[in-house]
Structure 1
Amino acid sequence: MLHNKYVAEYIRKWHDGEIVLNDKREKLLSLIEKNILPRPDLYYFNEEQIENYIEFSEKWYFELDEWEKFISAFIFLFYVEDDEVVFDEFVINIGRGGGKNGFLSTLANYFISPLHGIEYYDVSIVANSEKQAKRSFMECFRVINKKGNEDLTEEFEAYKSSITSYETQSLFEYKTSNASSQDGGREGAVMYDEYHEMEDTSIVDVFSGGLGKVDHGRQFFIGTKGFVREGYFDTKYRESEDILNGLIEFKGVFPYIAELDDISEMDIFDMWPKANPALQPPLNKRGKRLFNEVKKKYNKLAYEPSGRSAFVTKRMNFIEDNMENSVATREELKATDRPFFELNTKPIGSLDFGSVRDFASCGLLFKKEDEYAFKTFTFAIKHFCDVHYGYSNTNNDFGTEKKAPIKKWEKEGLMKVVDEPSLNPMHVVNWFVEMREEYGVEKIIADNYKLDILRPLLEAEGFEVEAIRRPSSIHPLLAPRVEDGFANHKFIFGDNPLMRWFTNNVYVKETQAGKQFLKKEEVKRKTDGFQAFVHALYRAGELDDAVDIDSSLNALEALNF
């Protein structure tokens, strides 16, 4: 068995219940036990580098926490065959105040040092603002120039814009995440600080291009959950989830994610280490100071509830459903996952599409007493799915609702991806023709703006087509019905994660005209299925309740004429 004392102690404390870990870190340790430690024929810990790093950090900076020592072992985990690093990307996602910047400082200073021993191993720290980018850099600058640290000043030439090792000629610099003004160099390591603020991959594309020119290239993605959705953070987070769930091979990326498993744990102080390992007892001086700070912020929520969102997101590293903005809570969405009642009455048809170059959703709305069943099917253009969801990539055979696993949904019969430059409207027409044969649909509701091409084709097939001239004008009218339907579990979507994804991508905005159902993100987070549902609800009053034929006959037989 492969052994390192810091890894072994961390795992022992987990098994013995001495440390509180969230689900994702427990999965990480399970992967390590299953895939790494039993394979000394494949991997080895460079114990000299691990000890050198820890001793260097604790001599010149501060005592490292257990989680930092644990991760450091995998920074210096190598393949036996060729001495290459096993993990060249580290995703470290923990609550604010956990010491992420200090960890970066110690790593950056060590990487350029003679102890690391790789010449020209340049390190760049990248952040959204110069102030953030300079944070870890300035910590190194101050430590090197601190009175009494003459040994460091003999090793490093430290200016306020760069730090250079005299012996290795390795350079440490800070940079902002403006991709248009940056060029990839020959970095040995790139550290993306507060990467949750990155909207896309552009800056990573620039800097990752310089890796590989020196040995043991590494990237570090350090951050806390933020408010930018569908940015680069979500991409790395979903990749980390897939690794931890065994969907992607455990190598290359090392995901260390600390977060609450449930929002109720926010009110239990003993659960706070799930979100921030620096709060794990016994607390050192830094930990005690952090705990008091977090507790103070928590207590303020009692009379400053507006601060809840920031506290939950930043301190507890948890994304909480915003009931005021989301069209439905997570529990309400789950409640739509019920079998349809018998669909034996004539439905209302509806359709919506944002563009003939991406998605188009068709649907049928049925009613039984207070419940509504919505049966839907979606068409999507292959090029759009390739660009935004990696449809043709073999790794997209799996996924979660967040990842939009188009291929999986297609295999489940919820949608069809067509390889066309723009959607042939006959796909939609033919679907409704099939549904008429099965369910008797005659009337179809759609946005007037989208009916230029489809209306004559549908009417030629004998359908009654009703156009909604301004869909936004019906949203305030339907908002009470939509809210009541979700809150009281009146809506049924069946086993259709695609429809729940559409719905989860909608938020409610209060305007002077009333509530509007809008997209949370303009491009990737599609809402076509939900908008088709809203169109159908507009004419839900015309629906007849589904009738239980057997019950009706029994009732008639019981009548005494």
Structure 2
Amino acid sequence: MIRQKYVDEYIELYRSGKVRFNKERELLIEYLEERVLTRDDIYFKDEMIENCIKFGEKWYFELQPFQKFLIAFVFLYWKDKPNTFYRKHLWTFGRGGGKNGLISVVTNFLISELHGVQDYNISIVANSEEQAKTSPDEVHKTIKRNPTLQKAFKTTLTQTVSKRTGSVLKFRTSNGETKDGLRDGAVVFDEIHQYESNKDVRVHISGLGKKLPPREFYIGTDGYVRDGFLDKMKEKSLKVLTGEARVNAIFPFICKLDSDKEIDDPANFEKANPMLSEPRGEYAEGLFSTILDEYDDLEDDPSNREEFMTKRMNLPVTDLEQSVATWEEIEAATEKPMPDLINEECIGCLDFASIRDFTACGLLFRDEDENYIFKTHSFVRKEFADKYYAYSKHAMGEGRQKFAPIREWENQGLLTVVEGATIDPHTIVKWFVDMREHYVIKKIVADNFRLEVLRPLFEEEGFELEIIRNPRAIHSLLAPRIETAFANKKIIFGDNPLMRWYTNNVLVVTKKDGNKEYQKKEPIRRKTDGFQAFVHGMYRADEVSTGGTFAFSDIKF
């Protein structure tokens, strides 16, 4: 078995329980001990490893055990070939873990005379120029601060050149014009979660191999692009670790929580960010404190949970499906009594997406305590209620209620079951006309469906109608406000089990771009119309006065 002291030290930290590993790193150690370190055709260039570490600690910062471990595998060579054993390196862990700092050290060293390879050019690539410049800027500033380094390197804001080797370190954007014909020794791809495919990667690595040994570094924290380039790399990494792919196809250092349940124990944070392992230096202590503060803030602002899990814990939720609020938060919205809102101003809201099953109308008020108060009434087609909820059978004492007690809610005055092939738009407009006798309706906000039918009817009655052309486009905009309001118990539905049902049926889906949509947990029977009407009202909630003083009553409509 080949040995390397920094590799041995890091493995011992894991074996002794001094650091916590996630499953991917546990697999990495098993894979290394069984399939790599047992080989007799490879070796570590210990002198090169020592020089790189000393270079980094002298001019940049004290390197942590995991960083020395990673550096060691950058200089693992074949005995009978001029190439390194690993051409590709994947480093992915939580934000703040020092990926760019380590790349600054490694790339600065690789272009230097200490590496000793002439014209060993390195490109650092990212989707944006700002991100691509992160490490090159750090190298530039480090050299500018140290006269000794200035004797070895010539540096500008665009590139750094080794005076002895002629090697150039520069940044590029993935959509740059000058990609072809590159003659790099190494390429670094930063923020790889943003790559949807390997198209740009292929162009940038096409020139590798002309200068030995070629190296590719893929670094970053996970993101919201699913089935993209990073996901493919993670799949390949797992195959390497489990023996299903070529042993040296990639060196994968993947740090993340094993499950979202581990988030509630801060001791697990180091699974996602190896910088947080004990003993922590000054930087790591500050980072841990920041992450802990962000975790505590989730209690008041749960809308940041996905961002925290993805960027801090490196554990994105694929095709995220969850409720818009906890059941306790939904119950809290229906435990407060409905205030007397007579003569108070409000926003009328309507979800008219389907005229063959449910339609929900509503009025959104606000009070001086910044509560969002929502009165609602729904209309349900009898044929639909019979087919999916056994409405008529239940009235005759036959069968069982299915999915929703429509007749019970009807008896409570929360909805009206109507006859006919569709829900008559005149019925909807009449409800708002009736409500106008008691409340000041500033405008009515509705979705774009059946606009040609609704607009003339509302305008005939003198209502101002605002149409949301793309209802789903406002969901991501409003999600932080809605989720925070639920968490802080700032929503009042009154004693309304129908709204509890509507809200609990909402499926929050986070798309590839990170935007949220409120969909249905079940497409036919679990309706969300009342909640969607509420969302439409929240779109213009700021236009409602909060100066009213409300007395509480049990008024229903």
Give the TM-score range, shorter chain. 0.5 to 0.7
Native 8 Å contact 1:509 1:516 kept in 2? no
User: Is residue 2:236 matched to residue 1:239?
Assistant: yes
The Cα shift of 1:325 comes to 7.9
After superposition, what is the alpha-carbon deviation per residue over 1:30-60, rounded to whole angstroms, capped at 9, x for unaligned? 1110012222x21100001101100111111
Q: Aligned to 1:157, what secondary structure does the other structure show?
A: strand
Give the AA of the match of 1:300: D
Q: Aligned to 1:78, what secondary structure does the other structure show?
A: strand
After superposition, what is the alpha-carbon deviation per residue over 1:86-128, rounded to whole angstroms, capped at 9, x for unaligned? 1000010100000011011001100100000000100100111
Distance in 2, Cα, partners of 1:38 & 1:130: 42
Give the AA of the match of 2:24: K
Native 8 Å contact 1:260 1:318 kept in 2? yes
1:178–1:280 CA distance, 2 compared to 1 (3 A): same
Aligned to 1:407: none
User: Is residue 2:275 matched to residue 1:290?
Assistant: no
Q: Aligned to 2:186, what secondary structure does the other structure show?
A: strand
Native 8 Å contact 2:183 2:211 kept in 1? yes
The Cα shift of 1:180 comes to 5.2
Distance in 2, Cα, partners of 1:270 & 1:227: 25
The Cα shift of 1:184 comes to 4.2
Aligned to 1:37: 37
The Cα shift of 1:320 comes to 2.9
Distance in 1, Cα, partners of 2:81 & 2:131: 37
Distance in 1, Cα, partners of 2:185 & 2:111: 9
User: Is residue 2:321 matched to residue 1:323?
Assistant: yes
User: Structure 1 stretches of 5 or more lacking a match?
Assistant: 327-368, 372-479, 487-503, 518-532, 538-561
Distance in 1, Cα, partners of 2:269 & 2:163: 43
Aligned to 1:142: 141
Aligned to 2:130: 131
Distance in 1, Cα, partners of 2:260 & 2:310: 10
The Cα shift of 1:12 comes to 1.2
Native 8 Å contact 1:189 1:219 kept in 2? yes
Give the AA of the match of 1:209: S
After superposition, what is the alpha-carbon deviation per residue over 1:244-296, rounded to whole angstroms, capped at 9, x for unaligned? 22211220300000000111111101111100000001101111111011111
The Cα shift of 1:315 comes to 0.3
Q: Aligned to 1:252, what secondary structure does the other structure show?
A: coil
Q: Identical aligned pairs, as a percentage?
A: 38
Q: Aligned to 2:87, what secondary structure does the other structure show?
A: strand
Distance in 1, Cα, partners of 2:152 & 2:270: 37
Q: Aligned to 1:125, what secondary structure does the other structure show?
A: strand
User: Is residue 2:278 matched to residue 1:281?
Assistant: yes
The Cα shift of 1:181 comes to 5.0
The Cα shift of 1:82 comes to 1.5
Pair member with larger Rg: 2
Native 8 Å contact 2:83 2:214 kept in 1? no
Native 8 Å contact 1:263 1:318 kept in 2? yes
Distance in 1, Cα, partners of 2:29 & 2:321: 34
Counterparts in 2 of 1:167-206, with a 5 A limit? 167-178=164-175, 181-206=178-203
The Cα shift of 1:83 comes to 3.3
Counterparts in 2 of 1:377-392, with a 5 A limit? none
Aligned to 2:552: none
Native 8 Å contact 1:508 1:516 kept in 2? no
1:30–1:516 CA distance, 2 compared to 1 (3 A): same
Aligned to 2:24: 24
Work out which of the residue numbers 198, 210, 213 in structure 2 matches 1:213: 210
Native 8 Å contact 1:179 1:202 kept in 2? no
Aligned to 1:366: none
After superposition, what is the alpha-carbon deviation per residue over 1:499-556, rounded to whole angstroms, capped at 9, x for unaligned? xxxxx9xx9944xxxx479xxxxxxxxxxxxxxx989x9xxxxxxxxxxxxxxxxxxx
Counterparts in 2 of 1:54-73, with a 5 A limit? 54-73=53-72
Give the AA of the match of 1:273: E
Q: Aligned to 2:219, what secondary structure does the other structure show?
A: strand
Q: Aligned to 1:172, what secondary structure does the other structure show?
A: strand
Give the AA of the match of 2:92: N
User: Is residue 2:186 matched to residue 1:153?
Assistant: no
The Cα shift of 1:196 comes to 0.6
Native 8 Å contact 2:240 2:249 kept in 1? no
Native 8 Å contact 1:325 1:509 kept in 2? no
Native 8 Å contact 2:185 2:214 kept in 1? yes
User: Structure 2 stretches of 5 or more lacking a match?
Assistant: 325-399, 403-500, 527-557
Native 8 Å contact 2:10 2:65 kept in 1? yes
Aligned to 1:311: 308
Distance in 1, Cα, partners of 2:211 & 2:30: 32
Matched pairs, number = 360
After superposition, what is the alpha-carbon deviation per residue over 1:6-49, rounded to whole angstroms, capped at 9, x for unaligned? 0011111211111110000010011110012222x211000011
Distance in 1, Cα, partners of 2:137 & 2:316: 31
1:161–1:509 CA distance, 2 compared to 1 (3 A): closer
Give the AA of the match of 2:218: F
The Cα shift of 1:324 comes to 3.6
Distance in 1, Cα, partners of 2:178 & 2:520: 39
After superposition, what is the alpha-carbon deviation per residue over 1:456-510, rounded to whole angstroms, capped at 9, x for unaligned? xxxxxxxxxxxxxxxxxxxxxxxx99x98x9xxxxxxxxxxxxxxxxx9xx9944
Q: Aligned to 1:92, what secondary structure does the other structure show?
A: strand
Counterparts in 2 of 1:89-108, with a 5 A limit? 89-108=88-107
Work out which of the residue numbers 223, 228, 248 in structure 2 matches 1:226: 223
Q: Aligned to 1:142, what secondary structure does the other structure show?
A: helix
After superposition, what is the alpha-carbon deviation per residue over 1:108-166, rounded to whole angstroms, capped at 9, x for unaligned? 100100000000100100111111111111110011011xx222101101011111111
After superposition, what is the alpha-carbon deviation per residue over 1:65-92, rounded to whole angstroms, capped at 9, x for unaligned? 1111001111100111223211000010
Give the AA of the match of 1:239: K
Native 8 Å contact 2:82 2:212 kept in 1? no
Native 8 Å contact 1:260 1:274 kept in 2? yes
> TM-score, with normalisation over the residues of structure 1?
0.59
Work out which of the residue numbers 241, 247, 250 in structure 2 matches 1:250: 247
Give the AA of the match of 1:33: E
Distance in 1, Cα, partners of 2:148 & 2:296: 45
Native 8 Å contact 2:255 2:272 kept in 1? yes
Aligned to 1:495: none
Aligned to 1:165: 162
Greater relative contact order (CA < 8 Å, ≥ 6 in sequence): 2
